[in-house]
Amino acid sequence: MNVLTDNFSTYGEGFLGTVELTVYSSLLALVLGFLMASFRVAPVGSFRVIGTVWVTVLRNTPLTLLFFAVLLGLPRFGLVLPFEVFAVLALGCYTSAFICEVLRSGINTVSRGQGEAARSLGMSFSETLNNVVLPQAFRSVIPPIGSTLIALAKNSAIAGAFSVTELLGTYKTLSELGYNIVWTFIWIAVGYLIITLTISALFNVLEKRYGVAR
Amino acid sequence: MTDSTALYDIPGPKTRQRHRLYGIVSTIAIVALLGWILYLLFDTGQFTAAKWAPFEYKGIQELLLRGLGNTLKAFAFAAVFSLILGTILACGRLSDHAPVRWVSTLLVEFFRAMPVLVMIFFIFVALKVQPLPALVAGLTLYNGSVLAEVFRAGVNSVDRGQREASYALGMRKTQVMAHVLVPQAVRAMLPTIISQLVVALKDTSLGYLITYEEFLHAGKLIASNLDYDLPFIPVVMVISPIYIGMCMLLSWFANWVARRQRRNPKTEAVDIAPAKPGTLLPGGTPAP
């Protein structure tokens, strides 16, 4: 028990690190995922190719390899940024591929007549997508996006192993100080549970508020 | 809307022209980006002979192959054990005895909510296990729990009439499961199971973080060798296509099975939803 009370600041720092990483990468992943999803359904062929390649490659890349390439590779091009930024980039890009697929399958759940009706009213592609299809798709993608973001929060642990300030990384400091390693890990686990359960609860609220049973 | 053409009209001549313009502009932009990256690669001297020479040495090639072999070994163990664990946990969750059900639900939910890496590190650091067993155990616990949910969803989604009919024929609980529900469920679940195995294959690269001598670790050894002028980028350029290729092959296999099954009348009674990653939320896609 005193592992937590003695090292509250270390744990707090790690916890905040994880939360920060999760929030920033989620934002990046949502924006990029949205962009790629609209690329994948766009009328222009080369946009579709870009979207498809992005998703296929990133979905099949091990995240550790991506971290390895981004955190240790990009500095060799003279691109020197803090490790946190690199971690956000890697996590965000990786998750964006999954968000894109979720959004695309959400778009596919909207019934065909909606798109046809919008077109027959003379709406353009972006108007159809933004005013008619996406608002309806949004309601059905809330749960899967929640699951993807939970996975993102869990994946942020990998950043900790690449020496970014993060919850999992705290175990090194604490084991050097000679604390009981089992209890150290139990509190780390509790920290992750708090984060994932919070995201889960948040998306349950969103689901109740906006989700519509069709 | 399975066909995305519902989002826009069939383009007329002017629109086609505009689309062609967009296409050309975006292609130029991508080509320029690639060219710039290539320029950077040349500029920072990534294509010098010194950096690529090590790949011609037999020792280095063997090191890489051994790493690849270790990755595949870890994957094979993890896949087999997680299928076994998944079966056991799914049996537990489908059990008629409430305590068994509660225990397995608790286990499944807990292991799905934990980051795989935390479990692997816990087993490696706190229980002082060798890297390979630690990696396999961590992957097994996580993927086994996810697969348990897949199996359960599969069995539950077999048409209710199938179960009722078998009970009406006087079959016992185990017989109904073994002869009626599971065979139909497994067929329908196969694509989801394979996609989950892709996740397991990708996650074997976590072994790098606990010094298991797998593919990425072998790459790191070469990359940090001063004799070869630190060939980091060449290593990444050699390793990532192999990794991504392996995962793509497996994903493609999953898709192929799924496509085949859509035409197969034997799976008609089952329409399975993919397993959800993470926790507690309805719906979702295979866990990343």
Q: Is there a domain that residue B20 lies in?
A: no
* Cross-strand bridge partners of residue A5: none
Looking at residues A102-129, what average pLDDT do you find? 87
Q: B109-133 burial string, b = 16+ CB within 10 Å, else e? A: eebbbbbbbbbbbbbbbbeebebbb
High-pLDDT (> 70) share of chain B, %: 90
Identity of the amino acid at B154: G
The dihedral through the CA atoms of A171, A175, A177, A183 has a sign that is positive
Rounded Cα–Cα distance for residues B238 and B222 (Å): 11
pLDDT at B277: 43
Which CATH number fits the domain that encloses residue B136? 1.10.3720.10
pLDDT at B169: 94
Shortest Cα distance, chain A CAs vs residue B86, angstroms: 20
Shortest Cα distance, chain B CAs vs residue A203, angstroms: 8
Nearest CB to A171; choose among B15, B125, B248: B125
Contact (CB<8Å) A168/B117: yes
Least confident of A23-32, A127-136, B68-77, B260-269: B260-269
User: B186 pLDDT band (50/70/90 cuts)?
Assistant: confident
At which residue do the structure tokens 């007549």 appear? A113
pLDDT at A19: 92
Rounded Cα–Cα distance for residues B83 and B181 (Å): 18
Contact (CB<8Å) A108/B1: yes
In whole angstroms, what separates CA B269 from the centre of its chain?
27
Q: Is there a domain that residue B33 lies in?
A: no
User: A81 pLDDT band (50/70/90 cuts)?
Assistant: confident
Phi-psi region of B229 (alpha: psi -120 to 50; beta: other; left: phi over 0): left
Nearest CB to A44; choose among B19, B115, B278: B19
User: B281 pLDDT band (50/70/90 cuts)?
Assistant: very low
Helix, strand, coil percent values for chain B (each to nearest 5):
80, 0, 20
Rounded Cα–Cα distance for residues B143 and B242 (Å): 23
Rounded Cα–Cα distance for residues B124 and B201 (Å): 19
Question: Is the CB of residue B199 less than 8 Å from the CB of residue B17?
Answer: no
- Tokens representing B141 are 């616990």
No. of helices (H) and no. of strands (E), chain A: 10, 0
User: A55 pLDDT band (50/70/90 cuts)?
Assistant: very high
The residue of chain A with its CA nearest to that of B7 is A115
High-pLDDT (> 90) share of chain B, %: 43
Looking at residues A62-84, what average pLDDT do you find? 84
Q: Which three-class secondary structure state does DSSP give residue B205?
A: helix
Identity of the amino acid at B95: S
pLDDT at B101: 93
pLDDT at A30: 95
Q: Which three-class secondary structure state does DSSP give residue B270?
A: strand
Q: How far from each other are the two terminal CA atoms of chain B, in whole angstroms?
A: 25
pLDDT at B53: 79
pLDDT at B268: 61
Q: Is there a domain that residue B39 lies in?
A: no
Least confident of A198-207, B89-98, B262-271: B262-271
Q: Is there a domain that residue B119 lies in?
A: yes
Closest by CA to A146, choosing from A208, A89, A99, is A99
pLDDT at A181: 82
Domains held by chain B: number: 1
Question: Is the CB of residue B251 less than 8 Å from the CB of residue B198?
Answer: yes
B chain contacts of residue A102, beta-carbon cutoff 8 Å:
285
Contact (CB<8Å) B283/A143: yes
For residue B275, pLDDT over 70 is answered with: no
The residue of chain B with its CA nearest to that of A189 is B114
pLDDT at B5: 60
Q: Is there a domain that residue B208 lies in?
A: yes
Nearest CB to A125; choose among B8, B118, B251: B8
Please return the burial class of B226, using the count of CB atoms within 10 Å of its CB with bins 0-12, 13-18 and 19+: exposed
Q: Is there a domain that residue B76 lies in?
A: yes
Which is more confidently placed, B4 or B87? B87
- Residue B108 domain boundaries: 65-267
Instruction: Write the DSSP string, B205-272.
Output: GGGGGGT---HHHHHHHHHT-GGGT--HHHHHHHHHHHHHHHHHHHHHHHHHHHHHHHT-GGGTTB-P
Contact (CB<8Å) B278/A102: no
Domains of chain A: 2-210 (1.10.3720.10)
B chain contacts of residue A72, beta-carbon cutoff 8 Å:
223, 232
Q: Is there a domain that residue B163 lies in?
A: yes
Least confident of A45-54, B168-177, B269-278: B269-278
Count CB pairs under 8 A between chains A and B.
Answer: 203
Q: Is there a domain that residue B286 lies in?
A: no
pLDDT at B106: 92
